[in-house]
Amino acid sequence: MTSGGTSPPPLRPGEDARGSLDGARVLVGVTGGIAAYKSAALVSRLAQAGARVTVVMTEGATHFVTPLTFQALSGQPVYTSVWEHIESKDPQHVSLAASARVAVVAPCTMDCMARLATGRADDAVTLILSAIDRARCPVLLAPSMNAVMWSQPSTQRNLATLRADGYEMVGPAEGWQACRAVGTGRMAEPEEIFEAVARAVARTGG
């Protein structure tokens, strides 16, 4: 179990997470942290497992990984703006939120946690998540920030609020961080997040 959040148990010997993902619609939110490069591996893993992956990015995330990368890996259009509508009949992206089986935000930065905890919906990621019924569609967050940011009282208050609101945490882990320090706040590895998504999909059934 990683510090600061409850992670799903590991797969049992012989259990294959891929079996529950065939055709499942998975929404992947990517926010502006250096760990965004790991999200490419997550999207690739989900797509290879048969999931129908839609990637949504904040403007900050596009400075770390290009939307074209995620489009190539997922085979689907990538959403990057609340103003640019791929599905013109649904400018609020409600149908996209309604069709998701599971949503995951990886990396979920300190800023994104604060936005979700306070009900903000002014970027593509938080807008679409605001339209998701978490009683039907699990929303997983994979926090990513340095150890000092993770330990801030405001972050811990937001963490408690998000858990109370029904969000599920994957990580964070402890280890080497981009700030050249070692501590808690490192984003969980793509395989751990993949397994959490697979379990969430299996839990929703049907």
SS (H, E, C) 27-89: EEEECCCCCHHHHHHHHHHHHHCCCEEEEEECCCHHHCCCHHHHHHHHCCCCECCCCCCCCCC
DSSP-assigned beta bridge partners for residue 139: 103
pLDDT tens digit sequence for 83-118 = 776 665 666 578 889 999 999 999 999 999 999 999
**20 band by pLDDT with thresholds 50, 70 and 90:** low
Start-to-end C-alpha separation, the chain: 29
CATH architecture of 19-204: 3-Layer(aba) Sandwich (3.40)
User: Global pTM?
Assistant: 0.86
Percent of the chain having pLDDT more than 90? Answer: 70
**73 band by pLDDT with thresholds 50, 70 and 90:** very high
**pLDDT for residue 180:** 61
Domain regions of the chain by residue span: 19-204
Mean pLDDT of the chain: 86
Report CA-CA distances (Å) from 153 to 6, 40, 54, 111, 158: 19, 31, 33, 14, 9
Active site residue 112: no
- Catalytic residue (one of 108, 112, 137, 179): 179
Q: Which helix (H) or strand (E) holds 108?
A: strand 102-108
DSSP-assigned beta bridge partners for residue 175: 183
131 or 206: which leads in pLDDT: 131
- The answer, yes or no, to whether residue 128 has pLDDT greater than 70, is yes
